Amino acid sequence: MCGIMGYTGKGNAVPVIIDGLSKLEYRGYDSSGIAMYEDGKIQVYKKKGRLADMLNVLGQEPLSHLGIGHTRWATHGVPSDLNAHPHCDCSGRIAVVHNGIIENYASLRKDLILEGHDFISDTDTEVMVHLIEKFYTGSLEEAVRKALTMIRGSFAMVAICSEEPDCIVTAKKDSPLIVGLGEGENYVASDIPAILGKTRQVYIMDENEFAVLTPRGVTVSDFEGKPVEKKAIEVDWDPIAAEKGGYEHFMLKEIYEQPKAIRDTLAGKFQDGLIDLSSLNMDDKFRQVGKIFMVACGTAYHAALVGRLAIEKLARIPVETDIASEFRYRDVLWNPQDLMIVVSQSGETADTLAALREAKRQGITVLAVTNVVGSSVAREADKVIYTHAGPEIAVASTKAYLTQLLVMYAIAMYLARIKGSLSPQELQQLGSQLQNTDALVQEMLDREQAKGQIRQMAEKYQEVNSTFFLGRGLDYAVAMEGALKLKEISYVHAEAYAAGELKHGPLALIYDGVPVLALITQDQLVEKSMSNIKEVKARGAVVVAVCKESLQEDCQECDDQILLPDVNPVLSPIVSVVPLQLFAYYMAIFRGADVDKPRNLAKSVTVE
């Protein structure tokens, strides 16, 4: 979720770009930079750290009428001065900034190096500027068009060239990009807040659209060059609303960003339809692994619970899961073949780091799953797989959890591939189902936007002070996440329980009218789940079934139903958690809680 800003016009580009980047600070970043046309050359200033650090390098604001800037949320290559954008070609004539993931960057980089291009960073973006250089014969627009035909992945990219001192070329595929329209000046940015102070006339760039900006105007076309008629919109948001993309809260924005987060996280993880994590260089370790220990906190722990069931089912490898703060009190019987997997959105959670360090002390290989490049967990683990959820601002984790699930499934499937516990055909089928989950999540979000069923349910139950979430197997793991979401942002007590265990005591807590959310996605477990539902209904509970459409008939006895699109039961957590996130969100709204910053909590718990 990098920030992009560009300007061409009669004014000074530098202050405009810096102001624009500062308005994108909420997107999170670890380095920033600016490239501008100055005295016939492209001058680049960039620095690891905050915007202020880059401004120290920039010093006295130079005068330029053409420039581009970037705040980087690292995905490939740790945060550093060299990895910061903009990136330049060998000649220094062309500069590029980029937001997205270039899936085939490794092969492109190899070919470009063989052709004599010098690379100085570890980023995927740098291949883009060298490709443009390769095709540049006097038209930046044509060179960018040709370069983009070679690139697979997602991008919002912007390029300038010292040979064309008033021209900006930009293109969009699966990453946000907007163009601001001024008088004798024009802007490009990754998000509306960056240009709000300058203009409210905006083109929202659509998929596979290409634009050329000069002070005299903006021309938009598709990637083949066919002109596109764009209708400018008048943006009436205030700056704060704009940071949330028009959503009322960051949490809701991040819930609705989940389909894209799924695509970004799975990008580059499949080769010929099969899951491929060989870039980890862990195949030997995976081949010999005896037992896996998964350790995490909070929501990340709930993702690990799903990971455990997925790995045991698909790869037939024993897995233990522990809450990180409890793990350290175990006298674990380690075996050198063991593997530890730690899961952490922030990569800075003290309890999780403590568990990681204990495993390292015991000489155990640690694989980290984290959302923050260069975080402590990423640096201290032996290997790391990044979730590409983008910065998660709301304290309550949603899109990060969902992308953690995807990585859990990717690990389970890759282990199954290495161990041979699933055939290539089974893996291909599961892989295509996994890659289709973004459409299923989108379907549910669209349905809620159209009908508001979950919002109405929250309105109905807003006064309750206690709820239960029930499930068996994978549904129990998701019930735990649903209960945590409700507790942490609406302050309603919520108990997640294994549906089969309720009768061994907690059933005493069921009373007339208490809402029970029952997850029912496991086709083989429906009968048993329904008998548990009868138990609680007989004691006065009001039961809301969160069930797959194909199991709707089985759940007729429930008082309400939230229907999920049909999905392979093993992948059901990816879809079943979404209504629970929305339920918690709307309950918090109706109860007047501070959704993005709930009381007593922090986004990253760096104390033990």
**CB of residue 338 vs ligand AGP: minimum separation in angstroms?**
21
Pair of tokens at residue 153: 């992945």
Nearer to ligand AGP, 346 or 490 (CB): 346
**CB of residue 486 vs ligand AGP: minimum separation in angstroms?**
11
Nearer to ligand AGP, 89 or 488 (CB): 488
Side-chain half-sphere CA neighbours of 414 within 13 A: 24
- In 3D space, the residue among 571, 515, 503, 580 whose CA is nearest the CA of residue 542 turns out to be 515
Tell me the three state secondary structure of residue 222.
strand
| CA 15, chain centre distance (Å) | 31
Query: Residue 72: what residue type?
Result: R
392, 383 in Cβ contact below 8 A? no
- In 3D space, the residue among 186, 292, 264 whose CA is nearest the CA of residue 230 turns out to be 186
**CB of residue 349 vs ligand AGP: minimum separation in angstroms?**
3
Q: Which residues are catalytic?
A: 2, 603
Nearer to ligand AGP, 218 or 368 (CB): 368
188/167 Cα distance (integer angstroms): 12
**CB of residue 203 vs ligand AGP: minimum separation in angstroms?**
36
Q: Which residues bind ligand AGP (CB under 6 A)?
A: 297-300, 344-346, 349, 352, 395-397, 488, 604-605
DSSP element (H, E) containing 512: none
Q: In what order do the strands lie in the sheet with 201-204?
A: 41-48, 31-38, 66-72, 3-9, 185-189, 178-181, 201-204, 233-234
574/557 Cα distance (integer angstroms): 25
Q: In what order do the strands lie in the sheet with 209-214?
A: 87-88, 94-102, 153-161, 168-173, 209-214, 217-222
Q: Which residues of 220-230 are buried (b: 16+ CB within 10 A; e: fewer)?
A: bbebeeeeeeb
Tell me the three state secondary structure of residue 559.
coil
Nearer to ligand AGP, 352 or 435 (CB): 352
Residue with smallest beta-carbon separation from ligand AGP = 298
Nearer to ligand AGP, 9 or 298 (CB): 298
Please give the backbone phi and psi of residue 388, each rounded to the nearest 5 degrees, phi first: -110, 60
**CB of residue 369 vs ligand AGP: minimum separation in angstroms?**
9
Give the DSSP per-residue string, 132-176: HHHH-SS-HHHHHHHHHHT--EEEEEEEEETTSTT-EEEEEEBS-
Nearer to ligand AGP, 159 or 300 (CB): 300
366/354 Cα distance (integer angstroms): 12
**CB of residue 582 vs ligand AGP: minimum separation in angstroms?**
14
Nearer to ligand AGP, 204 or 354 (CB): 354
- In 3D space, the residue among 208, 162, 2 whose CA is nearest the CA of residue 66 turns out to be 162
**CB of residue 607 vs ligand AGP: minimum separation in angstroms?**
11
**CB of residue 121 vs ligand AGP: minimum separation in angstroms?**
27
324/329 Cα distance (integer angstroms): 10
**CB of residue 141 vs ligand AGP: minimum separation in angstroms?**
43
Strand 153-161 to strand 168-173: parallel, antiparallel, or no bridges (unpaired)? antiparallel
**CB of residue 492 vs ligand AGP: minimum separation in angstroms?**
15
DSSP 8-class letter at 607? -
Torsion of CA 319, 316, 288, 410, to 10 degrees: -80
Tell me the three state secondary structure of residue 11.
coil
Nearer to ligand AGP, 400 or 415 (CB): 400
Tell me the three state secondary structure of residue 183.
coil
The residue written with tokens 């062309």 in the block is: 94
Nearer to ligand AGP, 265 or 349 (CB): 349
Nearer to ligand AGP, 57 or 605 (CB): 605
Nearer to ligand AGP, 33 or 482 (CB): 482
**CB of residue 601 vs ligand AGP: minimum separation in angstroms?**
6
Query: Residue 283: what residue type?
Result: D
Residues in the chain: 608
E strand spans, 346-492: 365-370, 383-386, 466-471
Please give the backbone phi and psi of residue 84, each rounded to the nearest 5 degrees, phi first: -65, 150
Query: Residue 236: what residue type?
Result: D
